Amino acid sequence: MKKVLFSFGLVLTAISAATNVSAKGGKVGLGLRATPDGGGFVAKMFLDKHLAFEGQLNAGGITGGWGGPSFNAVGLLTYHIILPNPSWRIFMGGGVHAGVWDRGWRYVSKEGRYIDDNRAIFGIDAIGGVEYVFKKIPLGLSADVKPAVNFLSESGFFDHNVVGVSARFYLR
């Protein structure tokens, strides 16, 4: 539970930083991200025309995917390429994730009982996708691919929240 609260605090700090930069001229988007196995909240803060910081709070494995549910906070730095039609942009980047992964119940033979097998997770993420920002309303819709690799607990490819679609309301 401490790890979940720490992850939540990390994302709240990122959102708070985004709001502070917004007052200085940055563009901030807040919204939701949906994935085939879960979803979560997203916040994107543009540092300049092409560079943005994105924070995500994700819940994955909700639909019964392999390994049980997970909850993680993700921090990403993304580079945006604005296409000839300025409403469209392609983005790519990377970052890190941290959180907790509920691996279900595990039998401990030495103790002769079952325990709830929650594990801390930490790893790196990549992201790439496309976003459309409407001209007349402050709304952006995006689709992305976000592969991740865990270094703690079950190191290797982390298959939660790999593909997603997001809707963000831009505050500025």
**Residue 19, pLDDT above cutoff 90:** no
Domain ranges of the chain: 2-170
User: What's the confidence (pLDDT) of residue 53?
Assistant: 97
- Does domain 2-170 bear CATH number 3.10.20.30? no
Rounded Cα distance between 84 and 147, Å, is: 28
Per DSSP, the chain holds a count of helices (H) and strands (E) of: 1, 10
**How confident is the model over 29-83, as pLDDT tens digits?**
999 999 888 889 999 999 999 999 999 998 887 766 556 778 889 999 999 999 9
pTM of the model: 0.75
Residue 14, classified by CB atoms within 10 Å of its CB into exposed (0-12), middle (13-18) or buried (19+), is buried
Closest CA to 46 of 11, 22, 23: 22
How far, in Å, are 19, 33, 61, 106 from residue 30 at the CA level? Answer: 10, 10, 23, 38
